[in-house]
Structure 1
């Protein structure tokens, strides 16, 4: 079987996978297994990583980044999630993986999850397996909570640990400005701080009722009012400069600023493309990396 699959491998396959932001992130108190129950609404935006997988004599990984992305902390061995993804599904094959990163590293935008999802899809297409979506999603869920959404893309509701993903019809074209941080923020540390700050957190997190209605309306002002992140307060408590950044972005014209996921990247919703570009210009006077983006965009997909 291994020989047959190796023969079927064709030219390298490149898959593009998008960054995610959380429009709503409700967090409940920890379960018995230590995980926090989540009720979240994800959106894929137009910052992406491209992952190319090719057949090779030995496993190898190359990581390159856009000028604003520091890839020094990205593992280039078996610990990298793309390599872990291939280890889950490969049956004796060896691969070379090249990751081209535009998604900020350790920024709360699921860049690693995007790479894992892209590697799964690239492997599937490289070896012409054509597995059903539900099989790929099961594989993705074993890698991490955000990986299934990276396959699905668009706008979607995530429950459980975030891995149970249900696509949401989203007719909007939402313009965002993304401001990464040069210093990472540990996701486990943010969750621990959430537990310390909110020891009476509900067993089940708040549902995104108003957020879903705002998406259906297509109205940026309504969506801005509905954005919610239970991890924002603990993230800002750990890193007060994130709160300062949000205040400056809103003063400069954003409809709303929020911490992305567990941080430290902050994202700002604008009233359209023109507003986003004006905010980019304003924040660029003080911050080195300020990126416009639009969402929702497609999940992991093969580039022609």
Structure 2
């Protein structure tokens, strides 16, 4: 199939099949960053948690051989800059569909409808979740018959966070974050998220970190794993123990680029969060709560103070099929 330029226009014919899939956003409760590599990436060691904020992708067979994309309005808390999300080949969901078309015998034309809930350029892997949901939906729609392991290999071609959005739960990520090992995290952990009204480019944040380190004459070591205390806290579901060891090497760079995030972190401390950290490359701030009630209370107080906030829990399942309908 030769996909056409994706647009927000177009749609399914009068009778077609639609497969809907969802995939979660993520938090990095530990994120260690090594030096810049020759390939332009950084080696990392990360502890991922999938959170209960889901992207949804509806994949519908259409006449022709192109790929079109649209955004679906949602009653979830507003997602800043959702309208600025590219609907062409820059979109990871489009790239995922093209990849699936390449490995499928008889792909059809395709319309993707994306329901955004994870912040755009927010450090929570929203685009990666779109890609993971698209891989799963297209596999079902076109009867590709790929195993989860084969889908994970395709996911790794799309970006470091896509394999985790497919896997979900909790995991340790090495390499550039795509070499995943599932981690035990049986007990729920609860968070209040503050969604910023701006985005941060992941490459820009990594570059800022490199500059900060160079200015300090600091040469980072290659990360060799995740702090065992992080993994123990996840295994036990001990929020207070986890709060004491949360780590994000990208946070100083994100704060350098967006100093106002420090005020959000201070606000979390004032309202009783166990700990707060910038999620991934930011600018979403995740505040760890004692329990579900505390997370809701934190989110409500932050909302009253004018923040775009919501309560979530982790870990949750990875990408899954929600429905499969012919109309």
- Same fold per superposition (TM over 0.5): yes
Alpha-carbon distance in 1 for matches of 2:259, 2:225? 25
1:126 to 141, 146, 169: 141
Question: Hey, what's the Cα distance between the residues in 1 that align with 2:94 and 2:161?
Answer: 17
Alignment match, 1:148: 163
Aligned match for 1:79, one of 90, 93, 102? 90
Show CA shifts across 1:38-80 (max 9, x none). Answer: 1001111011111010111242111124350132111112221
Matches within 5 A, 1:176-255: 176-199=191-214, 200-204=219-223, 207-255=226-274
Alpha-carbon distance in structure 2 between the residues aligned to 1:22 and 1:295: 12
Alignment-derived partner of residue 117 in structure 1: 132
After superposing the two structures, state which structure 1 stretch, 237-246 or 195-204, moved more. Answer: 195-204
Using the size of structure 2 for normalisation, the TM-score is 0.87
Q: Is contact 1:29-1:204 (8 Å) kept?
A: no
Say whether the 8 Å CA contact 2:108–2:142 is kept in structure 1: no
Whole-Å separation in 2 of the counterparts to 1:173 and 1:100: 25
Residue in 1 that maps onto 2:42: 36
Question: Where does residue 69 of structure 2 map in the other structure?
Answer: 61
Distance 2:252 2:73 in 1: 30
TM superposition shift of 1:168 = 0.8
C-alpha distance after superposition, 1:187-229 (max 9, x if no partner): 1111111111223111336632210111122211001111110
**Which residue is 1:25 aligned to?**
31
What is the aligned residue count?
298
Does residue 260 (structure 1) correspond to residue 268 (structure 2)? The answer is no
**Offset from partner CA, 1:54-108 (integer Å, 9 cap, x none):** 1112421111243501321111122211111111121553101000111111100
Distance 1:134 1:204 in 2: 26
Q: SS of the counterpart of 1:14?
A: strand
Question: Which residue of structure 2 aligns with residue 292 of structure 1?
Answer: 311
The root-mean-square deviation of aligned C-alpha atoms, in Å, is: 1.8
Q: Normalised by the size of structure 1, how large is the TM-score?
A: 0.94
> In the TM superposition, what is the alpha-carbon distance from 1:129 to its structure 2 partner?
2.3
Residue ranges of structure 1 left out of the alignment (5+ in a row): 2-9
List alignment gaps of at least 5 residues for structure 2.
2-15
